[in-house]
Amino acid sequence: MTLITILCIYTAFLIFISYMQISFLKKEKEKQAVILEESDYKNAADIAMENEKYKIFSNFYNLIINISWIAFGFLYLKEIFIKENSTLENTLFLLTFLVIISILNLPLSYYESFIKDKKHGFSNMTLALFVKDSIKSLILMLIFGFLIIYALVFCFEFFSTYWWMVAFILSFTIILIINLIYPTLIAPMFNKMKKLEDENLLEKITILMQKCGFSANGVYVIDASKRDKRLNAYFGGLFKSKRVVLFDTLLNALKEKELIAVLGHELGHFVHKDLIKTLSASALMLFALFFIFAHLPGFFYIESHLDGVNAGVFALLLIFGNIFTFIVSPLLNKMSQKNEFNADLHGAKLSSKEDMKSALIALAKENKAFVKTSKIYTFFHLSHPCIYERIKALQ
């Protein structure tokens, strides 16, 4: 019962944060609108409250699923797969667990895409595309999931006491490889990616990158609008695989000066070496995570029926790892928020403060994002400061 109690306390705290955020939004909604026009301001508050209510439901839903795994799910899989406790048996055990989790999460994904987001005019998702994406994700999980899980279980079996150090190195290497290949191999599996055709804009973006010493193998536009109308842009990849990726929704919604300011912000992350900082923080967190789960008390395995299962530590990590991440999230969020403020200032220097402010307001308006958040919500959940604080910092 100890493990179930831990999960219940964690979920109760998440629901409490959402409840506090909803109370904050209700009060702010009745105040005079700031940054956005009044109708947009109130609509964004309503959407934010609905998102928190959905989050409460999804947290409770995940709690029920996790309790089910602890109470009887792992025991059932153990009886099916674990006969000789071989590497292959443990790999199939953990892979089946991941596949079942993915299937159980499909109703939430469906509701979010076809009901919640369509209601507010965000989602362009079709049933055919949803099924296609789900099948692609499942295939990728089966192929790469099998290989990664097999390697991790092998580390546990072969390296004895120090298995977690080798597993950490392997896991972090995989993270680096994913960052390296994402814009060139993974993203194109889900979105059509083509080079920016606007020569005038391309020239300005190239000049912007040259000012910052940023070299990329191209500026690309992806057809994000086929799934979602929200705006975004990112600099993806590492080393020679670096790409500037613009959502087609961003190109259609922002003025040229605002777009330059947004890209100036993203280049600010490069100039300030934020990617290196983030990867370093991730490495430290991953190291601590493997260390903690390599030294779990025995009752974790007994209560979850994972005693005698070599892959048990990884199953527990997948269920309880979020709690560790949640505990350290305030430190990571604080670092990330500082990086965002500095990147905004960099974007303002490359364009102007007015252009940066105008871009932030346009992003908030088009994404229907409420411009304020409660302190407790910001502390635990926000890697980016709210728009209100970002604009205030620019001023």
Residues taking part in catalysis = 266, 344
> What residues contact 302, with CB distance under 8 A and at least 6 apart?
none
Determine whether the annotation assigns residue 272 to a binding site: no
Cα 43 from Cα 51, distance rounded (Å): 12
3-state per-residue secondary structure call for 317-355? HHHHHHHHHHHHHHHHHHHHHHHHHHHHHHHHHHCCHHH
Cα 254 from Cα 233, distance rounded (Å): 12
Cα 87 from Cα 91, distance rounded (Å): 6
Return contacts of 176-181, CB within 8 angstroms, 24+ apart. Answer: 176/238, 176/279, 179/236, 179/237, 179/238, 179/279, 180/237, 180/238, 180/239, 180/241, 181/237, 181/241
**C-alpha distances in angstroms, 370 versus 111, 172, 206, 384?**
22, 35, 33, 13
Burial of residue 148, with CB atoms counted within 10 A of its CB: 0-12 exposed, 13-18 middle, 19 or more buried: middle
Determine whether the annotation assigns residue 340 to a binding site: yes
> What residues contact 250, with CB distance under 8 A and at least 6 apart?
231, 232, 233, 259, 262
**C-alpha distances in angstroms, 281 versus 77, 175, 266, 378, 384?**
35, 13, 19, 19, 16
Determine whether the annotation assigns residue 269 to a binding site: yes
Task: Give me the residue label for tokens 């007994």.
Answer: 302
SS3 of residue 196 by DSSP:
coil
- Contact (Cβ atoms closer than 8 angstroms) between residue 367 and residue 230: yes
Known binding-site residue numbers for Zn(2+): 265, 269, 340
Known binding-site residue numbers: 265, 269, 340
